[in-house]
Amino acid sequence: MDVTASPLSPRRKTRQIAVGSVKVGGDAPISVQSMTTTKTADVEGTLQQIYALAAEGADIVRCTCNEVAAAEGLAQIVPRSPVPIVADIHFHVEMALAALEAGVQGLRLNPGNLRKPEEIKLVASEARDRGVPIRIGVNAGSLHPDIYERFGGATPEALVESARLELAYFEEVGFDDVKISVKASSVATMIAAYRLASETFDHPLHLGVTEAGPLPGGLLKGTAGIATLLAEGIGDTLRYSLTADPVEEARAGRTLLEVLGLRERKGLDLIACPSCGRAEVDVIKVANEAQTALQALNVPIQVAVMGCVVNGPGEARHADLGIAAGKKRGHLFIKGKIVRVVKEDEMVEALVEEAKMIMAEGVEARLAARDEGAEAEAEADRAMLLDDRGADANHASERIEKIRRRAEG
């Protein structure tokens, strides 16, 4: 996939920072983040979750550092992690300093909770000397009371002002290795806050709708906010904040970037028609079975499951691989070209088999190896289906004729 050929707005230019080996901002790919839900002191359990997150597309993982045992755990986790680790700090400056000693590649500070200027500047100085970036993580739910009162609530202006004040403390000690987030649980507030932040700062922005909640609502809220901003060219890294297994956050973030054309496809992209009167199979059942079987292969291809052969192969001609149902048979196609006709109960099996061969041999080789006569068989099935049901399965032409007769009196 050519991720540069995107119809989205041009991406806003920002400074670039490095969170360990991951570049954020500038022309670096937009990165995906998530956060562990384990106790950080549980080193093995936390590492297991970090590896699961990395496998699903997380580029950076955040772990809480709220006690000495957590900082000690980080000292063991960081060198064994497959991705850079950011320590999440809320109230205690000592924990920020301990996390730096543990070797973390980034810090996240909540300016609404860590409020003493001398402590903020101390952490920034230590991070500066170690070359460790900090995220100024503003949350609508934890604004400093003075800012909340001055702006009459957690407005977009209040969120951006909180980040601006924190950044000013950093600048006093010559530290600008920063990324910024201005999150809110209200999607509208979050979008407005990030738009304002993009006009105010040239630092990279970390996108997210905070406290989005459980699936599916949390996924919808997160996507509504994050995707809107990405389409406008705003954002350099992101996290879905879901009340769910954090693996769902990493998977959602990676998938969103892939479908927007902002990251090269890493995993399966299964598309399927919504079904209609022409459907020859239970499209939902076949699509779900195909999704389960193909995801297990971890193949970075687009696969289509279409309910009928009338329009299926044509509508999904852009897919790397697909199948369309017709007359108790499945028409297997690659890039819109029929390569094989299989029995209905072998459709999912055929998709899996062909997906493996595409990965091993390539699309062109599989097209060259297509069954002779498959195209003719498929066309015969298509013609028969059209004859049985008509291309106009919803009888629109018949209805239109009746409407005309009525209108003529």
Cα separation, 347 vs 285, in Å, equals 12
Q: How many C-alpha atoms does 309 have within 13 Å on its Cβ side?
A: 28
pLDDT for res 175: 98
Cα separation, 196 vs 237, in Å, equals 17
Cα–Cα distances in Å, from 188 out to 140, 148, 192, 210, 253?
A: 12, 18, 6, 12, 20
Six-digit token string for 164:
């601006």
pLDDT for res 2: 43
Domain range annotation of the chain = 16-259, 269-389
Q: Tens of pLDDT along 103-140?
A: 999 999 999 888 899 999 999 999 999 999 999 999 99
Mean pLDDT computed over every residue of the chain: 92
| Closest CA relative to residue 238, chosen from 91, 384, 60 | 60
Element (H, E) at 363: helix 363-368
Mean pLDDT of 167-181: 98
- pLDDT over 60 (residue 392): no
Q: 70-79, 113-122, 167-176: which has the minimum mean pLDDT?
A: 113-122
Six-digit token string for 95:
């924990």
pLDDT for res 278: 64
Taking domain 269-389, whether its CATH number is 3.30.413.10 is answered by yes
CB 276 within 8 A of CB 268: no
Cα separation, 250 vs 60, in Å, equals 10
pLDDT for res 389: 53
pLDDT for res 377: 85
374 or 53: which leads in pLDDT: 53
Q: 128-137, 174-183, 383-392: which has the minimum mean pLDDT?
A: 383-392
pLDDT for res 229: 98
Q: What order of strands is seen across the sheet that includes strand 178-183?
A: 178-183, 134-139, 106-109, 85-89, 60-64, 31-35, 237-238, 206-207
pLDDT for res 335: 94
115 or 2: which leads in pLDDT: 115
- pLDDT over 70 (residue 393): no
Confidence band for 4, pLDDT divided at 50, 70 and 90: very low
| Closest CA relative to residue 324, chosen from 364, 358, 367, 275 | 275
Q: Tens of pLDDT along 284-302?
A: 889 999 999 998 888 899 9
Q: Which CATH number fits domain 16-259: 1.10.3720.10, 3.90.420.10, 3.30.1600.10, 3.20.20.20?
A: 3.20.20.20
Mean pLDDT of 395-401: 67
- pLDDT over 70 (residue 59): yes
6 or 76: which leads in pLDDT: 76
Cα separation, 49 vs 37, in Å, equals 8
Radius of gyration of the chain measured on its C-alpha atoms: 26
pLDDT for res 261: 93
Q: 100-109, 143-152, 313-322: which has the minimum mean pLDDT?
A: 313-322
